[in-house]
Structure 1
Amino acid sequence: MPPGMKYWDDCVDPEDMLAMWSHVDVRKEWIAAGEAPGSKVHMSRNPDGHPYLTQTEMRAVAELIIGRHFKRRLDPSMICAIAEIESHRQPLAHRYEPKLKEASTGLMQVLASTAEWLVKDMSFNAYSADMLYRPFVCVYFGAAYLKWLSTYEHKRRSEEFMVRAYNSGPKHATSKFTLGYWNRYLQAKQNLPIGRELPVLESPASTPAPAHLGRQWIYWEERTSAQDMAEMWRQPDVKKEWTKAGEKPGKVRFSRDTQMRPFVTRTELKAIAGIIVSRYFTDRGISPAMLCTLADISSKRLLFGLESPTGLMQTPYTTALWLYSDLGYKSYRLRSCEDLTKPFVSMYFGAAYVSWLAGYKNRTRSDQFIVQSYRGGPLCVDSAEAGPFWLKYLDTLPEYHPRPKSQQGSCTIQ
């Protein structure tokens, strides 16, 4: 049995403990349980006496690992749901796999051989491949494997493919034997305190289904508050577009693309951006046209986004949570990544992030700095992706607002 599983401090590095104490929900939970900063933190025990992570602790570890090492491109809820069904959040969970003649270990039930392969061949080397019973170590390698699966054979893979492949390997992701695992995963995810509301699928699919197909929202009213819907109907261009399409108050349908993915039209997007800016950011100098353009090139105006299910603005959930918890942007409630698929919520947190970038380090920043930083953060303003993202922004901006001649050709980053 690995030593030191009575206290968190015995299986977590000091910097990770500091990060856990800095997490708002964890700090609140630990203090309520009688723990104190500077003293060792007791690990919770189940009725059998085995150590386990609370759901709050599990969520925090997932968010910290994803934020540090995976550019916030994995969903913490996915990590939490897999840990729930693999180990019941027990770091000492140990399961022998007869076919592999090897045991899986820890919260994410990672094989030692898989962890070693990820380190040596895939360069996921932030942690050593041993000591998988340590929470941060096991979550890191579980997330690394999911990241690898997300682009298996150079194709962008769906959530269903990733989860089913995590269970039995990518070559068996569409096997009927993994369908039960997928359904258990959806159930676990649905039951997370801040998890998504996803239905359990009962019929097998011959090919991986797009991630958005598990959510069959049809109407605006399912994703928008009554107040925001009333405001949308007061927008002349929106009212004209909706009325022409035969929509009526109380049951307005989302537009759908050829893959049946819901999206917002440019008219709708302009209205959302204008409403959010006029309500919450009138003194920040934020342009609705900038927000619309960022949404267009980031998500193609798809309700669930492109790269991850974080909505129109594709603001990483961990970034939105930071804006909500630490910077006080609480005009819209944020309980899970799913909330960011609501058009007004996504636009609000996207605008909040733009506002923060515009005054980064107490300096007035150029549009180019804001746009290029929006892609991966201000520390990645000069990354390989940032330049093309800026050019794409310039190409799309005229769709929402003609660019003044004085700004054309500008390339100064401040």
Structure 2
Amino acid sequence: MRRKKVIWVLLAVLMVVFMVINSPMVWKWMYPVKYHQEILQAAERYTVDPRLIVAIIRTESNFEEGRVSRKGALGLMQLMPDTADWVIKQGGFKELTVADLEKPEANIQVGAWYLSYLLTKFEGELVPAIAAYNAGPSKVNNWMSQKMWNGSPDSLENIPYGETRHYVQRVLYYQQRYNQVYNERLE
């Protein structure tokens, strides 16, 4: 009799745990979105999926504003100063300077423009655009033209740089998670 009671209690606990784990609130806690409005505005302006922007930010800085990498990449979207300077000029961000990248709104705007540029450059192909965000478009073009990597998600292991390979895998993982948890309005 006592054994049956223990089994029922365990089943009840497992059901509660299962319900909690599958709660949208828990998933949103595990995969938060900060700078919601800034991301949505940039995504709409530059026609980029906001969940991709969120996945890049999560991978690059984990939403830590003002972050500077060992290599000198700046802000939420970890833009290299030379790249950011080029984007500021090409994207017509006349009011911005590289120093403004410490501000989340400016960083997200510049990063989203650059993502949009890369997606256009790689004809809408997501994986090469993500790789180029990390390694640079010239490197990715070189890998693809020399048949080192074909740009497909099925051949990530052929990306010559381990850091870029891991980066692409992480961004795709986070994008998939954010796609499961949030709609296109990040709700």
Name the TM-score class by shorter chain: 0.5 to 0.7
CA 157–90 in structure 1, closer or farther in 2 if over 3 Å, else same: same
User: Could you say which residue in structure 2 is the equivalent of 1:189?
Assistant: 175
Stretches of structure 2 that go unaligned for 5 or more consecutive residues are: 1-30, 141-148, 150-158
Is the Cα–Cα contact under 8 Å of residues 34 and 63 in structure 2 kept in the other structure? no
Which residue of 119, 130, 137 maps to 1:150?
A: 119
Quote the offset at 1:147 in angstroms. 1.4
RMSD: 2.4
CA 64–190 in structure 1, closer or farther in 2 if over 3 Å, else same: same
CA distance in 2, matches of 1:63, 1:126: 22
How do 1:291-310 residues align onto structure 2 when only pairs under 5 Å count? none
How do 1:326-341 residues align onto structure 2 when only pairs under 5 Å count? 335-337=182-184
CA 157–172 in structure 1, closer or farther in 2 if over 3 Å, else same: farther
Amino acid at match of 2:49: D
Which residue of 176, 181, 186 maps to 2:160?
A: 176
Q: Any idea what SS the aligned residue of 2:70 has?
A: strand
Q: Any idea what SS the aligned residue of 2:73 has?
A: strand
Amino acid at match of 1:142: G
Quote the offset at 1:171 in angstroms. 2.8
CA distance in 2, matches of 1:116, 1:171: 17
CA distance in 1, matches of 2:57, 2:32: 10
Is the Cα–Cα contact under 8 Å of residues 86 and 108 in structure 1 kept in the other structure? yes
CA distance in 2, matches of 1:74, 1:126: 22
Does residue 160 in structure 1 map to residue 127 in structure 2?
Answer: yes
Amino acid at match of 2:160: K
Is the Cα–Cα contact under 8 Å of residues 124 and 144 in structure 1 kept in the other structure? no
Is the Cα–Cα contact under 8 Å of residues 43 and 53 in structure 2 kept in the other structure? no
Q: Any idea what SS the aligned residue of 1:91 has?
A: coil
- Relative to its length, the structure with more strand (as a share) is 1
User: Could you say which residue in structure 1 is the equivalent of 2:11?
Assistant: none
CA distance in 1, matches of 2:124, 2:160: 18
Does residue 81 in structure 1 map to residue 55 in structure 2?
Answer: yes
CA 170–125 in structure 1, closer or farther in 2 if over 3 Å, else same: same
- Relative to its length, the structure with more helix (as a share) is 2
Does residue 107 in structure 1 map to residue 84 in structure 2?
Answer: no
Is the Cα–Cα contact under 8 Å of residues 33 and 54 in structure 2 kept in the other structure? no
Which is greater in Rg? 1
- Structure 1 length normalisation: TM-score? 0.30
User: Could you say which residue in structure 2 is the equivalent of 1:128?
Assistant: 96
CA distance in 2, matches of 1:151, 1:86: 21
**Runs of 4+, deviation exceeding 6 Å:** none
CA 196–123 in structure 1, closer or farther in 2 if over 3 Å, else same: closer
Quote the offset at 1:127 in angstroms. 4.6
Stretches of structure 1 that go unaligned for 5 or more consecutive residues are: 1-53, 98-102, 198-333, 339-414
How do 1:368-407 residues align onto structure 2 when only pairs under 5 Å count? none
Amino acid at match of 1:149: L
